[in-house]
Copies of this chain bind each other. A is one copy, B any other.
Amino acid sequence: MIKNQTTSKQVTHRTIRAFKKRSLSVAEFETIKEVARHTATSMFTQQCSIMHLTDEDKRKQVRQITGQDYVGTNGDLFIFVADLYRNQQIRKQLGKDDGRLHKADMFMQAVQDTVLSVQNVVNAVESLGLGAVILGSINNDPFRLLQTLELPKMTYPILGLQVGEPNQEPQLKPRLPSEFTFFENNYEREVDIEKLHDYDQIVQTYYDLRDTNRRIDSFTHQMSSEKLGLRKTKRDELLQAIQTQGLCLD
């Protein structure tokens, strides 16, 4: 592969969950804003908004929703929002109906704009020597999250992102070999877990070295564990919450 400043950072990406006790500098903050603003957008609809949470009560609420004690403590906390509200308001003020805005198609475009923006910011942040953790866990309680952020209908918070100066140096987490995830022309339906044996071994080593208090578990065991098992959880309310916002209706 070709290594340059950008790609070298990308192939050594690791999630940072412990940050030093300082906020982003003005220059760092502006960089994040500018990079997010220049992210690709589907059909020029620009359907992503970003919230920066500095309010201590809001940060605490989000921490409680995620159940992760590092959320909203050190570092800057952002929420990336799929936003069809802005275009709805533009249409309204120009005397138009909501058009396609309630369609799954349009919602997915907004989700894509939003997630592209998250990764773009992650790459920027890491290029500055900072670290980040993407927070899917904001979806642990969808209705409480909507209430906490006081978001209008036609918006939905997709991912959180916490950013700061790293206060830890985690190991690189081993990923599936690309033979399992990368296909020429034809999708390979044969998944032979015997062939995942070596990878499973590597994953177990990783956990072992990273944190000796943490249970060692191979990839195939994690995927077949209760983590993906059927159980009652507020995460099941996700689709209902999205649709309550007027999004992804059909």
Indicate if A19 sits at the interface (CB-CB under 8 A). Answer: no
User: In the complex the two chains form, is B120's CB within 8 Å of A187's CB?
Assistant: no
Indicate if A198 sits at the interface (CB-CB under 8 A). Answer: no
Which residues, 64 to 102 on A, are CB-close (under 8 Å) to B? 81, 83, 85-87, 89-91, 93-94, 96-97, 99-101
Contacts of A136 in B (CB 8 A): 42-43, 109, 112
User: In the complex the two chains form, is A187's CB within 8 Å of B155's CB?
Assistant: yes
Complex: how many Å from CA A189 to CA B112?
22
Contacts of A118 in B (CB 8 A): 116, 119
Considering the complex, give the chain B residue whose CB is closest to the CB of A104. Answer: B239
Contacts of A7 in B (CB 8 A): 31, 34-35, 124, 127-128
Which residues, 10 to 60 on A, are CB-close (under 8 Å) to B? 10-13, 15, 27-28, 30-31, 33-46, 48-55, 58
User: In the complex the two chains form, is A4's CB within 8 Å of B1's CB?
Assistant: no
Q: How many copies does the complex hold?
A: 2
A58 nearest CB across to chain B (Å): 6
User: In the complex the two chains form, is B139's CB within 8 Å of A105's CB?
Assistant: yes
User: In the complex the two chains form, is A90's CB within 8 Å of B193's CB?
Assistant: yes
Task: Choose, from A162-170, A175-183, A208-216, the stretch at the interface.
Answer: A175-183
Contacts of A128 in B (CB 8 A): 2, 4, 7
User: In the complex the two chains form, is A38's CB within 8 Å of B54's CB?
Assistant: no
A121 nearest CB across to chain B (Å): 9
User: In the complex the two chains form, is A35's CB within 8 Å of B10's CB?
Assistant: yes
A230 nearest CB across to chain B (Å): 5
Partner pick for A46 among B96, B106, B176, CB 8 A cutoff: B176
Contacts of A173 in B (CB 8 A): 44
Considering the complex, give the chain B residue whose CB is closest to the CB of A222. Answer: B44
User: In the complex the two chains form, is A224's CB within 8 Å of B4's CB?
Assistant: no
Considering the complex, give the chain B residue whose CB is closest to the CB of A155. Answer: B187
Contacts of A48 in B (CB 8 A): 181
Indicate if A115 sits at the interface (CB-CB under 8 A). Answer: yes
- Of the A-B pairs whose beta carbons lie under 8 Å apart in the complex, a sample of 9, sorted by A's number, is A44-B219, A44-B222, A48-B181, A52-B184, A54-B184, A89-B191, A93-B193, A97-B230, A119-B123
Apart from A10-B35, A52-B183, A53-B185: 10 A-B pairs, beta carbons within 8 A: A1-B34, A7-B128, A11-B38, A36-B181, A49-B182, A99-B228, A108-B238, A116-B119, A119-B120, A150-B186
